Chain A
Amino acid sequence: MIASSEDNLPGMKIEKLHEEIYVGRSNDTIDGDISTLNLGPTHPATHGIFQNVLKVDGEKILSSEQTVGYIHRAFEKLAERRPFNQITPITDRLNYCSSPINNMGWHMTVEKLIGAEVPKRVDYMRVIIMELARIADHLVCNSVIGVDTGALTGFTYVFQQREKIYELYEEVCGARLTTNIGRIGGFERDFSPAFHQKLNDFLKEFPKVFNEFDALLSRNRIFMDRTIGAGPISAQRALDYSFAGPNLRAAGVDYDVRVMNPYSSYEDFDFIVPVGTQGDTYDRFQVRQEEIRQSLRIIEQAYKNLPEGDYKADIPEFYLPPKEAVYNNMEALIYHFKIVMGETPIPVGEVYHSVEGGNGELGYYLISDGGRSPYRLQFRRPCFIYYQAYPEMITGQCISDAVLTLSSLNVIAGELDA
């Protein structure tokens, strides 16, 4: 979608670029004077706690060594002692730019384990929230690429729209950043009238704002010169490194979990999976831009066709009954007691479930031994997996390109370090 052929792009071809980076670098030093530069761990340009020790020759990066784990919080260990519903707040703190996707991915994993069927309405409500989260996630990433190239305007402008999305979360769950949205089996309440009002306003207003933002950067000469050819990766290397999400698609591989293994009724919606050709910063930017448009399309379809029905699944052993029922109804009281005290039988088994998170395949590998908390829970964190390709992507580039590459990869410290 970015360019029909490589020739249209002013950037270099990948092979040529790689040749220049890996073959030409040894005999192309300024004065042979190699210095060491600590980029991070707390550097304003890295948007998070990442340390990179760079060997530089002038402005050019010769090698890089990463240190991660600065905000490691042992989520996988914590999860081994928490009841299933108390793990949702942990998932908030993975990719905190799109917490609802993490929350719902976890809910769907548990639903798969216990074999719960959720109503169609829940699927559609989830899709609306998840796509809003994707828009918020990509907006942050893309506007920050703008900031790193020196264009602050777009950032401050689209953050007003991100605020609108956070207000929508607030209407559904009362929280903004770490949302803990929804429940195992659905939602805690139906969309409120205020939510409908705000969503309608958002759908009306956002495309205009977004088009303005797009016009600021997409065909901006300076922006294109700065981003084309910055931090490229080929499709083959990206697959080798198990890239996922927009970063993999920017390299030209159309892998999207929503299409490959549809969950939450994604098969009902008509949308395009955008792919790039070069796998550089500009392509990653453009892929995310197009995904925002497609997410809007999905939201519109889901909202227009929002089915009637219940906002929760009929699983009384896992879904807390309403408080009025608990106080007035014996059966509800028993279920409430069983859920809170962990007396609910949970099947023994292993499930792997993945959703398309803001950064790609976000997987949950859950081993249950029938206890009230998981025996083992592993998160497949896309950031952690693709960040290891970072040194390869920035070798031979300038320091300013390395900063751009980092922001365009959308490496989120919470997801990286878990």
Chain B
Amino acid sequence: MQSNLNNDMVLELLQKQFGEAIITADTPYDLLTIEVSPSSCYDIIAWIKDEPTLAIAYLTNLGGVHYPQNEGRELAVVYHLHSLTNNFRIRIKTFLSIENPSIASIVAIHNGANWMERETFDFYGIQFEGHPNLVRILNEDSMDYFPMRKEYHLEDETREDKDDRFFGR
């Protein structure tokens, strides 16, 4: 199915509407990827859903990424959204500091975000403000750390018989 929208068109519309809130834009592998400020993330996702020319109303995926080297913006939340009527996909990223990783929950816009946000909280410790029930989902409740963060290595750090160069990262 051909898309009625193209990356430039959507980016132009978004920049016209939100201006400074859109920090960077790129199209890796032909998927429009925008980085937005955490404070405007909710509004942008709500707007692209309701804007009739875009109708990007299907939340495909939501997840976190940890970049320990990015000082002040260590944690990323990545949204993949899809317009089923226009067959157009977009990726929205926003970066948070690890001291206070907090962002508005989008459950009010997309119901399906409920568990996806819980999972992201569970593994990265990102607080979704306004989430109806932000508790751990896949890990056990008594866990006191966020296991997908990069400081938790899969293998015992003291092992010397396995060299990272030969056995993965």
Residues of A bordering B, CB below 8 Å: 68-69, 72, 74, 76-78, 80-83, 112-113, 237, 239-243, 253, 255, 259-261, 341-342, 349-352, 354, 361, 363, 365, 367, 371-373, 375-376, 378, 380, 384-389, 417-418
Contacts and interface: CB of A to CB of B under 8 A. Distances in A.
Interface in B56-101: 57-61, 63, 65-66, 78, 80, 84, 87, 89, 91
Contact of A239 (B58, B147, B166): B58
Nearest to A371: B169
A112 B112 CA distance: 27
Nearest to A80: B169
Nearest to B81: A242
A367 B31 CA distance: 14
A237 B110 CA distance: 10
A14 to B, nearest CB: 17
7 closest pairs, A vs B, by CB?
A242-B112, A69-B138, A81-B168, A240-B111, A72-B138, A380-B61, A378-B63
Interface in B112-168: 112-116, 119, 123, 137-140, 147-148, 152, 154-155, 165-168
Nearest to B65: A376
A251 to B, nearest CB: 13
B33 interface: yes
Contacts of A261: 1, 87
Contacts of A361: 60
Interface of B: 1, 28-29, 31, 33, 57-61, 63, 65-66, 78, 80, 84, 87, 89, 91, 110-116, 119, 123, 137-140, 147-148, 152, 154-155, 165-169
A68 B111 contact: no
Given A259-B1, A260-B1, A341-B166, A72 B148 contact: no
B115 A365 contact: no
A168 B113 CA distance: 39
Nearest to B165: A342
B136 to A, nearest CB: 8
Secondary structure dominating the interface of A = mixed
27 contacts: A69-B138, A69-B139, A72-B139, A74-B147, A77-B154, A83-B168, A113-B29, A239-B57, A239-B58, A240-B111, A241-B111, A242-B59, A242-B60, A253-B84, A350-B28, A350-B91, A351-B31, A352-B29, A367-B65, A375-B65, A376-B65, A376-B66, A384-B115, A384-B119, A386-B112, A388-B114, A418-B138
Contact of B29 (A83, A112, A388, A389): A112
A373 B169 contact: yes
B122 to A, nearest CB: 9
A365 B33 CA distance: 13
A363 B138 contact: no
Contacts of A255: 58, 84
A240 B112 contact: yes
